[in-house]
Structure 1
Amino acid sequence: MAADAHTRPRREPAEPFRVGYVRGVTPAKWARIWGQRRPDRPLELVRTDTDQTDVLRDGRAQMAFVRLPIDRDGLNVIPLYAELAVVVVPKDHAIAAVDEISRADLSGETVHDDSGDIEETIAVVAAGAGVVIVPQSIARLHARRDVTYRPVTDAPSTGIALAWPAHTVGAHHRDADSIAVDDFIGVVRGRTARSSRGVTARPTSTAQKKANAKAAKAGKQGVGKQAAAGKTGKTGKTGKQGKTGKQPRGGAAGKAGAAAKGGKPGKASGRMTSRSGAERPMATS
């Protein structure tokens, strides 16, 4: 037995499911839920910047959180949420005194491009050399004491989306990666672990469907029988046949009735019997 345990081949660990994400996206919550639902497939997060779609096309990641707009050619894309555009300015800038601005308010300002090293660009802004427009999530990520930011009401909007290669999921493509893609979509969209839309949820077989239908039919019939039985019981209660059968005038019950009420023995005994459907025990003196 010990020799068999040593010679038994070890199961290879599952390849990580890699998900890229751009600056400003915090995937920690989704990663935690993934770990609870898919402990069999470890999740690996890949930080992306200018190569946010390249990681999908070259296979470095199976999915990615991307910042729109992007080149969608060959990709499936699910928009998740829009981002508010803000302008980052020095703390003592005139714009810091207002709640929001428009692009026209930036006339005469040096507006830096946000496609480079954003941390370095914000450091330049802090030094008083221009401003930069970025998504609010980026401004928060690189917050400093010597800068602030204000919403730009008419700036082009951006958004965060979930993207993956279009060939990953298809009618006849049900490998481990395609299942993981559908499962991760469910995690991000907030589906429950038992959601019928999740790929890992087990489809109901034809035999199971028939069994369920049979059980449902039997349940309905049972309810019908119970209802019929209830109606029969009510009829039995109202069918008081004792009204026509009076006790003989000379019977023991008639005499007892006469002694109790002082009336005619036959009638007293008959009324007592017909109201209850059975004779009541009489009190003894």
Structure 2
Amino acid sequence: MANSGGSRRRASMGGPARSTKRSAPKPSAKKAQKQEPERRRPAPEPRIFRLGAVPGATPGRWIDTWKQRMPHVTLELIPIEKSSQRTAIDELDAALIRLPLVDDSLHVISLYDEVPVVVASAESHLMAVDQLTADDLAGEVLITPLDDVLGPLDLPTTAPSFRPLATTADAIATAATGVGIVVVPMSLARLHQRKDADYRPLLAGPTSTVALAWPRERTSEDVETFVGIVRGRTARSSR
């Protein structure tokens, strides 16, 4: 009996094994559609965003952000002068200008105020201190160029004996000789920096406000993007 039972077990163990493998189900039509490669959206057409900037305006960090965020739109920086900034705006997408500028046909956003500085010869006694007051300038010859951006100054200075100079660069070059002083926003002192001249902040002096302006009727997506950049919005921020 033991041998008979063993034979039955061996016969059972040696029999053909049944396959447990199942064929893979065919993908449904919906899944097949999902597996198809998505169609790429057409790349946006390249275009140019023309930004004007008065001397001393510093849009560098905004331009860098623009290049990262808007690689398909070339930002072209156009130098403009304060004296003709209003006319220049009509030929641009937007412009960094100096206030005051009152025009109801424009959107104007104030960005920052610039500290005024006194520029003089590097050997001037005025450069012996870290900052100056109006009283420190008593009797100094104040050189005001024709492209001045600050306007009339209430300072105890005297007028030069020579004709007004055309540009801020000319005025600073003259002040560097020790003839007089120039009062300008700090950015202009840095723009026209010279080895023979130096500058010091003028306490309680008139500030110059840099603003962004553009025609109301030409507000575009590119303009709104640049406004968002100067206001510090991220790429995901809502307008």
Q: Taking structure 2 as the reference length, what is the TM-score of the superposition?
A: 0.68
Q: For residues 72 and 82 of structure 1, what CA distance do their matches in structure 2 show? A: 20
- For residues 101-135 of structure 1, give each alpha carbon's deviation from its aligned partner in whole angstroms, at most 9, with x where no partner exists: 22232232221114241111111111112110000
1:45 is aligned to 77
| Structure 2: unaligned runs, 5 residues or longer | 1-42, 148-165
Shift of 1:13: 5.9
1:191 is aligned to 233
1:255 is aligned to none
The residue type equivalent to 1:65 in the other structure is L
Match 1:24 to one of 20, 37, 56: 56
Bigger Cα Rg: 1
| Structure 1: unaligned runs, 5 residues or longer | 1-10, 170-177, 198-285
SS at 1:55's partner residue? helix
Q: Taking structure 1 as the reference length, what is the TM-score of the superposition?
A: 0.58
Match 2:178 to one of 117, 128, 145: 128
Q: For residues 12 and 151 of structure 1, what CA distance do their matches in structure 2 show? A: 47
1:97 is aligned to 128
2:209 is aligned to 159
- Greater length-normalized contact order (CA 8 Å, ≥ 6 residues apart): 2
Q: For residues 231 and 174 of structure 2, what CA distance do their matches in structure 1 show? A: 38
Q: Give 4+ residue runs of structure 1 displaced > 6 Å after superposition.
A: none
1:200 is aligned to none
Q: Do the aligned residues in 1 keep the contact of 2:55 with 2:80 (CA within 8 Å)?
A: yes
- For residues 63-108 of structure 1, give each alpha carbon's deviation from its aligned partner in whole angstroms, at most 9, with x where no partner exists: 0111222233421111111110001011111111122222232232
SS at 1:25's partner residue? coil
1:54 is aligned to 87
The residue type equivalent to 1:137 in the other structure is S
2:151 is aligned to none
RMSD (Å) for aligned C-alpha atoms? 2.0
Identify the structure with the greater helix proportion: 1
Q: For residues 63 and 94 of structure 1, what CA distance do their matches in structure 2 show? A: 43
Whether 2:232 is the aligned partner of 1:182: answer no
Q: Do the aligned residues in 1 keep the contact of 2:119 with 2:200 (CA within 8 Å)?
A: yes
Q: For residues 175 and 232 of structure 2, what CA distance do their matches in structure 1 show? A: 38
1:88 is aligned to 119
Shift of 1:12: 11
SS at 1:66's partner residue? strand
Q: For residues 201 and 111 of structure 2, what CA distance do their matches in structure 1 show? A: 21
Q: For residues 38 and 180 of structure 1, what CA distance do their matches in structure 2 show? A: 9
Q: Do the aligned residues in 1 keep the contact of 2:95 with 2:214 (CA within 8 Å)?
A: yes
Q: For residues 98 and 190 of structure 1, what CA distance do their matches in structure 2 show? A: 36
Identity %: 42
The residue type equivalent to 1:56 in the other structure is I
Q: Do the aligned residues in 1 keep the contact of 2:47 with 2:72 (CA within 8 Å)?
A: no
1:76 is aligned to 107
The residue type equivalent to 2:171 in the other structure is T
1:233 is aligned to none
